[in-house]
Chains A and B, each alone.
Chain A
Amino acid sequence: MTLLGLLEREPSHGYDLKRVYDEFFGRGKPLPFGQVYATLGRLARDGKVMVGEAEPGDGPDRKRYVITETGATEFESWLTEPVAPEPSLQTVLFTKVVLALMLGRDAQQYLDAQRAAHLRRMRELTELRRTGPLVDALLADHGLFHLEADLRWIDLTTARLDAIAEAVRS
C-alpha cells in the first residue's frame, strides 16, 4: 500500500520508488529490489497500476509505473481508514509478571530491569528526536509514547505487586 501511495504522488520507476521508500520508511531496512518488482507486478495484475513502455537508460528496468483509478480509490480508502486499535492484552510483559508471581519468583526484579531497559531505549529515541530530521522525530515520538505507556503500566504494576501476587496465587 505504501508503494501505491508513492505512485499516487507521481508516476515513477521501480528504482525511484525504492529510493523514496528507503528514505522515508526503510529505517535501516532497505526494501529489496525483488520485493519492489514483485509488488508492482501484483499491483499491475490486479489493475491498480499500469506499466509504461520500457525507456532507454541505465539499468535493467526503466519502466514507469502509473496508478490507475482503481488503485487510487483503494489507496484513498486505506489512507482514511483508522487502524484497528490493538489493546495487546497478552503482552510478554504481562505474561512474565504473572508467571513470576505464580511461581514465587522475583517479579519486582524483572519489572525493575524492564523499566531500566525501556528508559534506556527512550533515551536513545529522545536523542534521535533531538538531533535527527523532523520526520525521524515524528517516528521517535511514536515510539516514545508507546514506551511511556508500557512504563506507566510497569509503575502501576510495581505499586500493586503485593495485591496482584495475592490474586494470582489464590
Chain B
Amino acid sequence: MTALIEARDLTLTFGETPALRGASLTADAGEVLALMGPSGSGKSTLLHCLAGILTPDSGEVHFNGRRIDTMNEAQRSELRRRTFGFVFQFGQLVPELTAEENVALPLLFGGTRRAGALAQARPWFARLGLDGMQRRRSGELSGGQAQRVALARGLVARPQVLFADEPTGALDSLTGEQVMELLVGTAREQGTTVILVTHEPRVAAYADRETVVRDGKASTLAAERIAP
C-alpha cells in the first residue's frame, strides 16, 4: 500500500535548538497513528510539519503523492482547509461564537453558506452527546464538552487526515476516554486518517500503531525494528 503521508528525514531548528533531527515516518490511509515521546522530543513539531503548518529546514513531506513542504503558503493553507482537520489540547474554540458556529467554521471557511454549514454542524451534537448545547458559547461548556465540540469541528468537513495534538491532555481519565472513543470511532467511520500526538499510553492504545519520537528522531514501531 502506498502511504497517504510520508515524511523523509526531516530536520528543523528553532534558533539554536534542533527540534527535528532526521525524522521519518509514514501513515496509511484510514490508519490511526500515535506519535509518542517525552516533552520536547519534537513530536508536536513533527505533527506541524506533516500538517503543512511548519516547513522543515530539510527533508520532504508527501501527502497523497504530492510534496507539501515545497508548496507556497497559499497552497498549504488551501490543503489544510480542504483536506485536514485539527484538534488541539485546549479546544481553542472561538469564544465569541456559539458551539454550533464553532463546529461549522471549517465549512464556512471552505465556502459553504452559513445556513448549510450550520445544518451540517447540528447533527454532530446528538452524536457527541451534546444535544441542547448548540447555542452555548465556550465559556458555558465544561472542558470535556468543549473538547467534543472541538472534535466535531475537526471532523465536520470529513477531512482526509485529522491531526490531534494531545486531544485529551487537559481532561480527566473518564472524559478523556470518552473523547478518544468519539475521535477514533468517528474517524474510522469516515475513513479519516488520524495522526495523534500524545504522551499518554492509554490514549496511544486507541491507535493502530505508534511511532516513538526521541531527540527529534522518529523511529518506527520498536516491534518492527527488532527481529522477532
Contact = CB atoms under 8 A, between A and B. Distances in A.
Interface of A: 109, 112-113, 115-120, 122-123, 125-126, 130, 144-145, 147-148, 151-152, 155, 158-159
Q: Is the interface of B mostly helix, strand, loop or mixed?
A: mixed
B38 interface: yes
B141 interface: no
B205 to A, nearest CB: 4
8 contacts: A112-B225, A113-B222, A119-B201, A119-B210, A148-B200, A148-B201, A148-B202, A151-B201
B38 A155 contact: yes
B74 interface: no
Contacts of B219: 112
A121 to B, nearest CB: 9
Interface of B: 38, 181, 200-202, 204-208, 210, 212, 214, 219, 221-223, 225-226
A109 B226 contact: yes
Contacts of B206: 123, 126
Given A118-B201, A126-B205, A144-B202, 18 more contacts: A109-B226, A112-B222, A112-B225, A113-B223, A115-B222, A116-B223, A119-B205, A119-B210, A122-B201, A122-B202, A123-B206, A123-B208, A126-B202, A126-B206, A151-B201, A152-B201, A158-B214, A159-B38
Nearest to A156: B38
Contacts of A155: 38
Contact of A120 (B181, B214, B223): B223
B223 A123 contact: no
Nearest to A155: B38
A34 B89 CA distance: 55
Nearest to B225: A112
Nearest to B208: A123
B148 to A, nearest CB: 17
B221 A125 contact: no
B226 A119 contact: no
B221 A116 contact: yes
A92 B19 CA distance: 35
Given A130-B181, A155-B38, A159-B38, A116 B222 contact: yes
A117 B205 contact: no
Q: Among A112, A120, A159, which residue has the most Cβ atoms of chain B within 10 A?
A: A112
B214 to A, nearest CB: 8
A109 B225 CA distance: 9
Given A126-B205, A148-B202, A151-B201, A117 B223 contact: yes
B63 to A, nearest CB: 26
Contacts of B200: 148
